[in-house]
Amino acid sequence: MKDTIVYLIRHAETVDENGTRNTSEDSQLINEKEILSVEGEEQAKRLSENEELQNLDVIWSSSYTRAKATAKYIANVNDLPFNLDNNLSERKLGNLKELGEFMKDKNTRDPSQEQLLDRTFRTSDGESAEQTRERMNKFFDKILKEYEGKRIAVISHGGSIKFFLLNWCTVNENVKLVYNENTILNIKSPCLLKLTFRKNELINLEQID
């Protein structure tokens, strides 16, 4: 029986929006609509040309704009549609004032890094690392059954990917994910991870440059 290969991808670089926001959109909707930068579009195109991402069987993506904008290049190269699942969305930040209080005395500037250390923290209307991991697990349980032996691309987000990888990774003193005791993972934008499953058991995880 063939192993199942999942290419877990963080979307490409997003645009840096520092201008005036004369809009009634809340922070969650703004987050969902964030677009790729010009360089991010180029990154996504180059990523789609990686030999590992050729001849895929199926593509799944978060419904966020930046994830779909990354997925479209991979879909085009493979002549496939891409499917959407909200379980792949970024974890909800929720109340930004509460998040700011949480981050006030932290060593890093990245809430997702700090949530690797405090996996139950959530704002009043946000998600914890553990809640995010649970919904990512729900998605993967489904696709590993449905597409056993296939080659699958999954486009998601930094926080959600990090929290999902806690199933197999530890967190070192630099708040980096470590697989198999010595492989340090860099979940940058974009990144490409290759997960090999036998049935629903992970047998290998590697980062592909």
Q: Which residues contact 69 (CB under 8 A, 6 or more apart)?
A: 11, 12, 35, 36, 40, 41, 44
Q: pLDDT tens, 54-76?
A: 999 999 999 999 999 999 999 99
What is the phi-psi region of residue 12: left when phi exceeds 0, alpha when psi lies from -120 to 50, beta otherwise?
Answer: beta
E strands, the chain, where? Answer: 4-10, 58-61, 83-84, 151-156, 169-171, 177-179, 183-185, 191-198, 201-208
Residue 19, pLDDT score:
65
Portion of the chain with pLDDT greater than 70, in percent: 97
Residue 85, pLDDT score:
98
Q: pLDDT tens, 9-28?
A: 999 999 987 666 676 677 88
Q: pLDDT tens, 135-158?
A: 999 999 999 999 999 999 999 999
Q: How far apart are CA 7 and CA 207, in angstroms?
A: 10
Residue 183, pLDDT score:
94
Residue 17, pLDDT score:
72
- 194-205 mean pLDDT: 96
Residue 169, pLDDT score:
97
Nearest to 133, CA basis, from 155, 164, 161: 164
* Residue 165 pLDDT > 90: yes
Portion of the chain with pLDDT greater than 90, in percent: 86
Q: How far apart are CA 200 and CA 69, in angstroms?
A: 29
